[in-house]
Structure 1
C-alpha cells in the first residue's frame, strides 16, 4: 500500500481519512506467514505427546469411573497400549493447525497494531501495553475461526477407542463422518470454547511475552531501547511465561471444548442430543467441580513453557535474520 494519505469524498463535502499503513505490507505479511508456520510446526513436535495426554484426561466420561488417575498414569497406560507412536497419533492435523494458527496469530497481531498505530498513534513509536493486549485478543478471536475445525479432528483422533480390536479412523474418515452427521457447520462444534480460549489466550500470550520482554529491557544495564532484540535466553523466558499465561487463565474453556468435540468418540451425548457449551460445563462441574475443569492443566502448562519459548525464539530469530 502506498505511503501517501488517501481520502474518500462523502457527499462532495466531508472527507474520511483512511489510515496510512507502513509500506511493504505484502512482504511483511509473507514473513509472518512463513516464519509463524515454521515456528508453530517446530513447537508442535515438542508439545504434541503432552497435548495427547491432556486431551485424554479432559475427555474422560462423567458417567464412568475415571480411566486415568493423573498425567503420569495416562502416559504409562498410553505407552503400554500403543508405544510412543500412540502419543503422536493424529499429529498431521495439528501440524497443519499449528502452521495456520501461528501464521494467523503473528500476521493479524502485527497488522492490527499497524492499523491502530496509523489511526490513533501516528506519532508514537511504541504502543501502550493495553493496545498490545487488545491486538492479541483480536488476533486470537480471528484465529479461532480457522482453528476449531482442525482441533475437532485432532481431538477425535487423540481419544482412544473402546476395545483394542477397533481400528482407529484416519483424519479423512473423521472429516467425512463429521460432514455426514452435521454438515459443514459441524466442523465448528466447540467454537465457543475456542473463541473464549483464543481471545483471552491471545491477549495473555502476546501480553505475557511483551510484558516480560519489557521488564527485561527496563532492568537491562546494556540497553534502554524499547525495540532492541533481547538475548536468546531472555526471549525464551518471555516465551515460556507467555505459554503458561495462555494455558492457565483460560483452561476451563479448553476443557469444555475438548469434551464437546469428543463426545461422539466417548459416547457422551445425552438422550441422543448434543450438549451445549453451558451444559457441558455444568456436567463437568458436577463431576469434580473446579478440578474437572482444570484436569490436565498441569501437564499442559509444563509442555507449553518450552513450546512457547521455542515458538517465539524461532519466530524472532527468523525475522531478525531476514530483516
Structure 2
C-alpha cells in the first residue's frame, strides 16, 4: 500500500457508518444513563432509568422506537469524519513508520502502534466534535430540529464554543479508546492467525477482546464529556434558575465524584461495553471484507 493510498480512509469511514447504524440504540441508552442523577443540573436530577434495558423499554414506550434513533444523522456525519480520519490515519501512519524501521515492518511494534492510535483518535475526535455535541443533545431529547438547523441554533445561542463544548474530554476519551482498541485488535489478530487464519472468526474474536479494554479505560471520560456537551452556556453567560455549569474536565470529575460517588463515573458502562463489542465486530468485519478489494 503506497504512501498516498486513500483506501484506509475510505474503508474506515464506510465501515464506521455501517457499525453506527447497527448499534445506535445502545448508544442512546448509554447517553441517557450518563446524563441522569446530576445534582448541579435541575434538568437531570431525577434517576429515570435503572439500567440499559429499563432505559430501552421506557424510551420506546414513552417516546416511541424512533426516539432510540434520535441523533442518528449527526452520528453518521460524525463517523463520516471521525471514522474516516481515525482509521485512515492510524493504518497509514503505522504503515509509514513500519517501513522505516530496521526490519522493514516485518514485525508489529506495540508502543508505536499505541502512539499512532492515540494520535489518530484524539485528532479525529477533536475535528468531529460539533457533530458529537448535536448527537448527545438529540439523544437526551432536548433538541428536536434537523442537523443544519440545530447547528445554526447552537452557533447563534452559544457561539463557536458551544460546538466544541467538551472537545478536550472527547479527544482524550477517543485517544484512550483508540490506544486500547486498535493495537489490541492487531495484536490479537496476529496471535490467533496460526489457529484461525486471517478469517472472519479471527476478526470476530479479536474485535471482542479489543472492546473490553477500551470500555473500561474510556467510560469515566465518556461520562464527563457527555455531561459537558449537554450543558448550555449562552453567549451572555446567563444560566437557567438554579442551574450551575461545570468549569471543565477536572471540575466535572470532582463534582460527579463528590455528589454521586465513584460509581457515577461508570454510569452507562454496560451499554458502553455492549455497544463497543457489536460496534467493533461490525466495523472490523466490514473493514476486513472491504480490504479484499485492495
Structure 1 length-normalised TM: 0.81
- Structure with bigger helix share is 2
CA distance in 2, matches of 1:129, 1:270: 49
Shift of 1:214: 2.2
Q: Secondary structure at the match of 1:172?
A: helix
Matched, 1:115 2:80: no
Tell me which residue corresponds to 2:3: 25
Matched, 1:40 2:21: no
Tell me which residue corresponds to 1:172: 148
Matched, 1:209 2:185: yes
Matched, 1:242 2:223: no
Shift of 1:271: 5.6
Q: Deviations over 1:230-250 (max 9, x none)?
A: 110110111122223222211
Contact kept, 8 Å, 1:89 with 1:157, in 2: the verdict is yes
Superposed, 1:191-230 pairs within 5 Å as 191-217=167-193, 220=195, 230=198
Contact kept, 8 Å, 1:32 with 1:106, in 2: the verdict is yes
Structure 1 spans left out of the alignment, 5+ residues: 1-21, 162-166, 223-228
Tell me which residue corresponds to 2:42: none
Shift of 1:118: 4.2
Aligned partner (choices 64, 72, 88) of residue 83 of structure 1: 64
Q: Secondary structure at the match of 1:69?
A: coil
Tell me which residue corresponds to 2:220: 252
The count of aligned residue pairs is 284
Tell me which residue corresponds to 2:131: 150
CA distance in 2, matches of 1:272, 1:284: 13
Shift of 1:275: 2.9
Q: Secondary structure at the match of 1:305?
A: helix
Shift of 1:273: 4.7
CA distance in 1, matches of 2:145, 2:251: 28
Q: Deviations over 1:150-171 (max 9, x none)?
A: 111100111124xxxxx82332
Distance 1:213-1:86 versus aligned 2 partners, 3 A rule: same
CA distance in 1, matches of 2:169, 2:240: 17
Shift of 1:269: 9.1
Tell me which residue corresponds to 1:53: 29
Q: Secondary structure at the match of 1:39?
A: helix
Aligned partner (choices 292, 296, 317) of residue 289 of structure 2: 317
Aligned partner (choices 255, 263, 277) of residue 231 of structure 2: 263
Q: Which has the larger radius of gyration?
A: 1
**Root mean square deviation, CA, Å:** 2.3
Structure 2 length-normalised TM: 0.88
The higher relative CO (CA closer than 8 Å, separation ≥ 6) is in: 2
Shift of 1:80: 0.9
